[in-house]
Amino acid sequence: MFLVPLLAYAALIAPSSQSDEPVVRPVQPLALDERGYPAELVREIATIVRRARDPKAEERPRLAAALGKLGSRAFDPLLDLLEVRKVPVVVAGQRVQTLSVYQEDIVLEGLRALGTSNALRHMDRRLAEHGDKRRRLAALALFGRLGERDRLAKLFELAEPEADQPVDRDLEDELRESLAELLRREPFAVPKLNLTWRSVSKELLPTAIFALGDVRDGRGLALAVDAAALHPELLPLTAAQVAVIGRSPDADSNRRAILHLRDALDSAEGHVACGVVRALAVLEDDGSVQRWIELLTDESESLRSAAHWSLVHLSKLEYSPTPELWQYWWDGEQAWFDTQYEPLLADLESPDAGKVTAALRALATRHVRRHDIAREITRVLSDERPALRKLACDVLRELGSIDALPELALARLDEDPEVARAAWNALGSLSGRAFELESPEWEALVAAREP
């Protein structure tokens, strides 16, 4: 009765008769305490990193500095720790810890404390020796946290799939996180990526677009839309990410994106069409308003909902999805622009301060074409009267258009302190940044095309 089970067990443990090749099992990398480093150094590193396990620990901000005090001898052990991701035991009874994201942060900041250029140089040397998956993951994390924009190409190279192989999901995820980290930190990284993205493999372009959505930097709009124009299959992803990337501070990029998305809407269907409609609304394309009103009667419920959302988003009105109601509003908006817009723009040039003030206040109430209006109002920032320059800054802040960021960045250096502060307040409100008034980072923020 035991014969069959025994035979089955023997078959499991016996070598396969179909191949004489030995079974190759993956070699586990040596733990940090098995690599010949001084035991005291390993113990110090492990003690510090273990204390970073709890993200709420009050001492965490000091832990990176403690790693930095270990000196250059800690470079290789810390880089090894990023690879093996196992924190050794310090006292008997402990278990080996798997490196958490909080502990990884401390290790990376510790490497920064030891010296950014030296940390990068050590990793370059290690990659030259070999670049297995563990090492590439560690390099991606390090370059994303400490690298400059000249590391962009290397990030994509590290995640590049082998010929005829699919993208490795772990490397892809790490690339997205590291790329987003670098794009957030380095002011000119997004413009650099805009210039170099065509060298990125098609398989990794979606990761680049996702990362731009993660950082919500409007300067990345150019890449997202141009990539979809070259690779139409990326349109669904691009439309969805445009909704979070938002408008670019470069007016040409906005116009190019709007034209491409309008054309795409003609042939898009289902959820793709809904994504394109919402993307056009985020770009505040008033040229699509009539189309959205017509879509309120579309047979697709999701497309009707997207059209209604777009009208509400652009107008800031909470009307019900009734086509007649929206048509009445839109006809009134067009009539206002036909009869009052140009005279108000002319009043901005008036020597009468009262006329200029009235025109600014009237224009500040508009939602449709607010970016066009903002660009017109920036002319007042050159007016010789400080009170009008200050009011123009306040109105630009109220309009909320990032198209005015370049002019406001200059106006924050106005000779009149009240004008300068009003421009600075507007910059902070529109960009969500809190740089000091005279910080050169304002110029870097609004540089849309400079590499």
Share of the chain above pLDDT 70, in %: 91
> What is the pLDDT at residue 447?
60
- Summarize pLDDT for 323-381 with one digit per residue, the tens: 999 999 999 999 999 999 999 999 999 999 999 999 999 999 898 999 899 999 999 99
From 229-233, 256-260, 439-443, the region with the lowest mean pLDDT: 439-443
Question: Is 176 in a helix, a strand, or coil?
Answer: helix
From 245-249, 382-386, 443-447, the region with the lowest mean pLDDT: 443-447
- Residue 25 pLDDT grade (very low, low, confident, very high; cuts 50, 70, 90): very low
> What is the pLDDT at residue 443?
77
DSSP assignment of 302-371: HHHHHHHHHHHHHH-----S-HHHHHHHHHHHHHHIIIIIHHHHHHTT-S-HHHHHHHHHHHTT--TTHH
19 to 10, 22, 25: CA distances (angstroms): 17, 8, 16
- pTM attached to this predicted model: 0.81
- Residue 35 pLDDT grade (very low, low, confident, very high; cuts 50, 70, 90): confident
Task: Say whether pLDDT at 241 is over 60.
Answer: yes
Taking the C-alpha atoms of residue 244 and residue 211, their distance in angstroms, rounded to an integer, is 11
> What is the pLDDT at residue 53?
83
> What is the pLDDT at residue 235?
95
Taking the C-alpha atoms of residue 435 and residue 437, their distance in angstroms, rounded to an integer, is 6
Mean of pLDDT values over 242-252: 88
SS3 assignment for 1-68: CCHHHHHHHHHHHCCCCCCCCCCCCCCCCCCHHHCCCCHHHHHHHHHHHHCCCCCCCCCHHHHHHHHH
Q: How many CB atoms lie within 10 A of CB 23?
A: 7
β-bridge mates for residue 98, sequence order: 86
- Summarize pLDDT for 101-148 with one digit per residue, the tens: 999 999 999 999 999 999 999 999 999 999 899 999 999 999 999 999
Q: How many CB atoms lie within 10 A of CB 310?
A: 25
Burial label for 427, CB within 10 Å (0-12, 13-18, 19+), is: buried
Residue with the larger pLDDT of the pair 78 and 431 = 78
Task: Say whether pLDDT at 3 is over 50.
Answer: no
- Summarize pLDDT for 56-68 with one digit per residue, the tens: 767 777 999 999 9
- Summarize pLDDT for 170-223 with one digit per residue, the tens: 999 999 999 999 999 987 899 899 999 999 999 999 999 999 999 998 889 999
Residues 6+ away with beta carbon under 8 Å from 402: 218, 246, 247, 249, 430, 431
Task: For residue 373, give the nearest of 408, 400, 350 by alpha carbon.
Answer: 400
